Amino acid sequence: MFNFYRSWRKLAISLILVALVFMLNACATNTQTKGKELSVKVDDKIMLTKDYQAKITVTTNTDNTTFKLTANKKTIQSGKFNSKKKAELVVNEPGKYTLTIKSPHEAITKKITVEPYTVIVNKSTTSVDNTQYIIKKIVYEKVKKTKTPDDNAENNLSDYDQLNAQYYRAKIYYELQNNGDAAIDLSYTQASIIDDSGKDYSFEGTADAYSYDSIDSILRPKTRRTGYFVMISNTPFSLENLKININSYSDTNGDLVGNGGIFELNQENTSSSTAITPSTETSATQDTNYVDPDDTTIEPESSIDDSTDDSDDSDDTNDTTESDTADLDMTEDQDEE
């Protein structure tokens, strides 16, 4: 009886010691795991390619890690990181995305902005009737059609209902210079865009080939003004060698001062076209010193507000007028309301 008791006590002590070893080992392992802080590497700003796709590459430093990409509270993609602790996600639309990465012990959230495909051009065109364009940049988008037009360009498209559920849109930012001695009333002028295939996009066009010009006011002599064209089509188009067709120019009395023509990009600057993230523009200054030939003073023009022209879904988020004071030693002219 006595021997049995001693044996039982030794066995109990042994079991307790083994349990303590396991517990200490588990605590040490858990402490070591929690001590390795979750780390995530991903770009917070990415631009779509000309094929309207963007690849988001994510890497982490821990195993058993998952990811979930959401936009507007909808899950776009989710899954696990591969054996190299890496994941590649593909998106097809610009906008704001939220990426959540979870390990067994913690989670990290990253905000990612996907921007539309943008080409910085900064090229001048040939001159027509003492006027010249400088093409600043072109923003391409594949747009989801809304029930009603939510932009000035689409609002003026007569057959908006003929647009596909997804259509193609480009915004061409430009600077128009009047190097002549006569004021030009642009409300008399009709401008159209010619794409690389030779198709003409005009304000009178349809859902297959339509363009909209933001400037519709007076361009004074020796001044320049910033604006933009919007091109819309049911099919993709290219604008590497775009052309601008002007029917004619008239003065403030409606009298003809120029026969119009076609502006073409100066090819010697071709190498300057690059696809990069657009920069923030600033507003041009006003020209308040010009006096009409008939000695009638033209009142200073107010700055155009095109902020309502854009939305998070279909246009640039920071769409303001721009100026490039290094291009010309000229006063600058603002858009009229």
What is the per-residue pLDDT for 13? 73
Q: Where in the chain is the domain with CATH 2.60.40.10?
A: 40-115
Please state the φ and ψ torsions of residue 54, each to the nearest 5 degrees. Answer: -140, 135
Residues 253, 297: Cα–Cα separation, whole Å: 15
- Top CATH class of 40-115 equals mainly beta
SS3 of the chain: CHHHHHHHHHHHHHHHHHHHHHHHHHHHHHHHHHHCCCCEECCCEEECCCCCCEEEEEEECCCCCEEEEEECCEEEEEEECCCCCEEEEEECCCEEEEEEEECCCCEEEEEEEEECEEEEEEEEECCECCEEEEEEEEEEEEEECCCCCCCHHHHCCCCHHHCCCEEEEEEEEEEEEECCCCCEEHHHCCEEEECCCCCEEECCCECCEEEEECCCCEECCCEEEEEEEEEEECCCCCCCCCEEEECCEECCCCCEEECCEEEEECHHHHHHCECCCCCCCCCCCCCCCCECCCCCECCCCCCCCCHHHCCCCCCCCCCCCCCCCCCCCCEECCCCC
Q: What is the CATH number of domain 118-332?
A: 2.60.40
**Cross-sheet strand order for the sheet of 54-60:** 40-41, 54-60, 86-91
Output the six-digit token pair for 95: 């906008």
Q: How do residues 212-236 score in pLDDT, each as one tens digit?
A: 999 999 999 999 999 999 999 999 9
What is the per-residue pLDDT for 24? 62
Residues 210, 204: Cα–Cα separation, whole Å: 7
What is the per-residue pLDDT for 26? 56
What is the per-residue pLDDT for 77? 95
What is the per-residue pLDDT for 67? 96
Q: How do residues 6-18 score in pLDDT, each as one tens digit?
A: 666 676 677 777 6
CB-CB contact of 210 with 199 (8 Å): no
What is the per-residue pLDDT for 18? 66
Q: How do residues 50-68 score in pLDDT, each as one tens digit?
A: 999 999 999 999 889 999 9
Residues 101, 107: Cα–Cα separation, whole Å: 6
What is the per-residue pLDDT for 150? 82
CB-CB contact of 186 with 336 (8 Å): no
Q: 176, 260, 246: which is closest to 218 by C-alpha?
A: 176
Question: Distance from first CA to last CA of the chain, Å, rounded?
Answer: 107
- 83 CB neighbour count, 10 Å cutoff: 7
Low-confidence spans in the chain with pLDDT less than 50: 1, 28-33, 270-337
Cβ-proximal residues to 263 (8 Å cutoff; 6+ apart), any chain: 125, 126, 127, 128, 132, 133, 243, 244, 245, 246
Cβ-proximal residues to 292 (8 Å cutoff; 6+ apart), any chain: 183, 252, 298
What is the per-residue pLDDT for 21? 63
Cβ-proximal residues to 52 (8 Å cutoff; 6+ apart), any chain: 92, 93, 117, 140, 142
Output the six-digit token pair for 211: 């363009």
Q: 190, 186, 193, 227: which is closest to 210 by C-alpha?
A: 193
